[in-house]
Chains A and B, each alone.
Chain A
Amino acid sequence: MVGAACALYAARAGLDVRVVDRGAVAGGTTGAGEGNLLVSDKEPGPELELALLSARLWSELAEELGAAIEYESKGGLVVAAAPDALAALRDFAAGQRSAGVTAVPVGSGELREMEPHLASGMAGGVHYPQDAQVMPALAAAHLLHACGAPVHTGWTVTGVVRAADGAVRGVRTDRGDIHAPAVVNAAGTWGGDLASLAGVRLPVLPRRGFVLVTEPLPRMVRHKVYAADYVADVASDSATLRASPVVEGTAAGPVLIGATRERVGFDRSLSLAAVRALAAGAIGLFPFLERVRALRTYAGFRPYLPDHLPAIGPDPRVPGLFHACGHEGAGIGLAPGTGQSIARALTGKAPELNLTPFRPERFDTDTDTGTGTGTDTDTDTDGGDTP
């Protein structure tokens, strides 16, 4: 998704773009994503600014691409079961409001008007009208289609071609070299591997998430609904299972419940503990789900960096190398802002956002020794441009 957004905005900035992916379109974390475009779960700071920019860009893209990407500006509803959790949520929301987020307190009585099937007895909540949803695989495919760039699926990047002065000259793939003065690393969870092909360190690690998908239902869940403790889970540094789920209906019918957060490397094997926690959390929010069937579950691997912020922008260590990866569980939501920022950087324009917090080389100064635990060393998406 991030690669597709980079390709689109770069192409629209007048660059000649080629997209390389060792798999299919949306074959990596995008295909496992739920398509959350959330501002609600972000505290004031650089990620929230990127999310607000991206939310605006998503609504523009939605006007253009219409129903094809299943964009829904459905809004988020964060609920708190107990009064103390509600107080903490309201404080959090007040901070977000001062950063430009629309966050509307919802009383206990109004909750059921907004979500008729919500569990009774909730203390209250906050409504975030800016939260939205897309179908991520469709979004990635249609953005790529709209940008008009050649898409080389099934091509694996095996090296980064560099000049004598160290500057990037393109990528080497198993199907031949692609020459370009700039290479964008949008390899998601495998972005660290691509960075190492260019000789630099970018400590992207996988954080596993399971998603549950139900049988098709009529629209019984109207917003993106989650419990207030979800925010704590997202921000958590814990390696162990965190599972306060986001529950939402989809245009296609099924309710999506996701996702867990675990740091277990690239282990795709089913964790019944994870799906048990998801199911219990979802039923806690929507009791009718108890008798609804889960048709499937799947795992995806969020790409995260140690400070839980993505790497966006030029890499000063390798001229011509740009990074756009490490968005953890927010890559779909943050993709357009990232793509636009990369396109501006590629064309020498000032970014709309301050990219300093996303500097890719920021981990060179710390002593973090985290290494990829994955067995999969190939690199994924990579959008480069040729003049």
Chain B
Amino acid sequence: MTTAERPRLAVVGAGPAGLAGALAAAARGVQVTLVDAADQPGGQFYRQPAPGLGARRPQALHHQWRTFERLRDGLERHRAAGLITHLADHHVWCVEREPGSGALSVHALRGPAQEQGVTVRADAVLLATGGYERVLPFPGWTLPGVVTAGGAQAMLKGGLALPGRTAVVAGTGPLLLPVATGLAAAGVRVAALVESADPAALLPRARALAARPGKLAEGAGYAARLLRYGVRVLPRHTVLEAHGTDRLEAVTLASLGRNGRTRPGSARRIACDTLAVGHGMLPHTDLAGTLGCTLSGTDVRVDDEQRTDVPGVWAAGETTGVGGAALALAEGHIAGRSVAARLGGTAPDPRRWAAAARARARQRAFFAALDAVYAPPAAWADAVPDDTVVCRCEEVTAGAVRTAAGPLGASDPRAVKLLTRAGMGWCQGRVCAPAVAALTGCPLVPERRPFARPVPLGVLAALPEPPPG
């Protein structure tokens, strides 16, 4: 087949899911364009130091680096063979599907400044857009020095940069462990790892864990390293407040009672210049939502082949439900094989990907078990004081949200947004949506965001006309 004859797949995102999908499809004769915002492949999980930094041992900050090396080498091979085009530093803001022809157009902005428009056309799209961290508000969380746990890790992995000398790592979820050990390994004094859940509660769910001996070993490895670096681990604790005037100086912690509320008299203050905080992950589903894909809760719904319910659109990785890199690899692989078969006009044989399907099932069960354990304190929303900023962009306080939701009759988060501007700023509610929903007494429902990122009006005005047919 020549390039012109091959079916075309655009993969959005070059993390584990996107890479696995691109490789699986390209190996089966599909012409792949891999569109990714970063300047190097790997996504958030395999974020590499920039080449200019000359890191000879990037694996010192990583797990499963060998897996990534295999993916990276595969990508190089397919690129050299002309089967994969890797568009790095391309920020996708919209994927459009022609209702008649089903042709797909991936609209991206090129370069770090994101000022030039680029459109990639394809017969199929694999959405592997990953996820981002959920952080719930508390007093002082807008102070410089308070960063997301994933953000601290990304700045370390990608820029070999640290925000300070003494850190507290806090919140909930499995990400806190590698963040604490990574910061400690890089020379930060990690004063405490504050986890609101009680990881001992994982034990009753041993069946899902026992199926993942590797994960248990990984957990044991973290525990050993935390011990080695002298990191105090405080389960069933939470950060009540971050202190400082123009910069973080200390945090107040407290222990949590069975009811999810802080125990009276348990508060204590710890001096630190960095607080790395996170409360789990949320999937990026904007592109899928605009295409009309059905979501299930906050996740893109897919079938056993990783197909969404919009023809020509597949999804894999965190966007279909947060579950880590191993799950993303399995899903991406299955998606790539399904795309290759479907674009070739045949139904795929799932037996060919039985191993990946088993891995997918195991990882999903494992993360379901984790999800049930790792949770923010039950009463966290009630504990947010009225004067705490909830929407960081538009500086909307919890009190303003409560007033809108109460006396002013804004009974859902959209109405709250209209009345308060919470969620109307630069980040379009990605950060504050969980808090606004909780303060309004509503479940978190993904918002419609037709633009997955800000788009210069000049780029919109210069959009190409849709292709004929």
Q: With a CB–CB cut-off of 8 A, which chain B residues contact A235?
A: none
Q: How far does the alpha carbon of A215 sit from the alpha carbon of B455 in the complex, in Å?
A: 10
Check A296/B457 contact, CB under 8 A, given A27-B412, A154-B411. Answer: no
A360 to chain B, nearest CB (A): 27
CA distance A273 to B96 in the complex (A): 11
Q: How far is the CA of A314 from the CA of B345 in the complex (A)?
A: 61
Given contacts A141-B419, A270-B94, contact A31 B457 (CB under 8 A): no
CB distance from B189 to the nearest CB of A (A): 39
Tell me which residues across on chain B come within 8 A of A144, comparing CB atoms: 409
Instruction: Establish whether residues B457 and A293, one from each chain, have CB atoms under 8 Å apart when the complex forms.
Output: yes
Distance in Å from the Cβ of B430 to the closest Cβ of chain A? 12
Stretch at the interface among B201-209, B263-271, B354-362, B421-429: B421-429
A215-B454 contact, Cβ under 8 Å, with A24-B409, A151-B409, A153-B411:
yes
Give A288's nearest chain B residue, CB to CB.
B457
Report the nearest A residue to B427, measured CB to CB. Answer: A295
CA distance A295 to B428 in the complex (A): 7
A141 near B409 with CB under 8 A, answer yes
Judging by beta carbons under 8 Å apart, are B428 and A25 in contact?
no
Most chain A beta-carbon neighbours within 10 Å: one of B94, B411, B426 = B411
B468 CB within 8 Å of chain A: no
Q: A294 touching B454 by the CB < 8 A rule?
A: yes
By beta carbon, the residue of chain B nearest A24 is B415
Contact (Cβ within 8 A) A23 B451: no
B94 near A215 with CB under 8 A, answer no
| Interface-lining segment among A120-128, A274-282, A334-342 | A274-282
Contact in complex: B456, A138 (CB < 8 Å): no
Across the interface, which residues of A come within 8 angstroms of B81, CB to CB?
A: none
Are B415 and A282 in contact, with the CB atoms below 8 A? no
Chain A residue nearest in CB terms to B96: A272
B95 CB to closest chain A CB, in angstroms? 10
A24 engages B412 (CB within 8 Å): yes
User: In the docked arrangement, what's the CA distance between A214 and B415, Å?
Assistant: 20
Q: Does A212 contact B (CB under 8 A)?
A: yes
Interface string of B434-469 (1 = CB under 8 A from A): 000000000000001111001111101101001000
Contact in complex: B407, A24 (CB < 8 Å): no
- Tell me if A's interface is mostly helix, strand, loop or mixed: mixed
A296 contacts B450, CB within 8 Å? Answer: yes
Asked, given contacts A276-B460, A283-B457, whether A298 binds B450 with beta carbons under 8 Å apart, the answer is: yes
Chain B residue with Cβ nearest A293: B454
Q: Which residues of B contact A114 (CB under 8 A)?
A: none
A137 in contact with B455 (CB, 8 Å): no
Shortest B190–chain A CB gap in Å is 37
Instruction: Verify B418–A31 contact, CB threshold 8 A.
Output: yes
Say if the beta carbon of A145 comes within 8 Å of chain B. Answer: yes
Instruction: Please determine whether B418 and A293 come into contact, CB atoms closer than 8 angstroms.
Output: no
Given known contacts A145-B408, A252-B421, is B458 in contact with A290 (CB within 8 Å)? Answer: yes
Chain B residues near A257: list those with CB within 8 A. 457
Inter-chain contact A23/B412, CB cutoff 8 Å: yes
CB distance from A269 to the nearest CB of B (A): 6
Please judge, given known A-B contacts A269-B292, A295-B451, whether A24 and B456 are in contact too, CB under 8 Å: no
Query: Residue-by-residue, is B78-101 near A (CB-CB < 8 Å gives 1, otherwise 0)?
Result: 000000000000000010100000
User: Which chain B positions have C-beta within 8 A of A31?
Assistant: 414-415, 418
Listed in ascending order, the chain B residues whose CB lies under 8 Å from chain A are 94, 96, 107, 115, 290, 292, 394, 404, 407-412, 414-415, 418-419, 421, 424-426, 428, 448-451, 454-458, 460-461, 463, 466
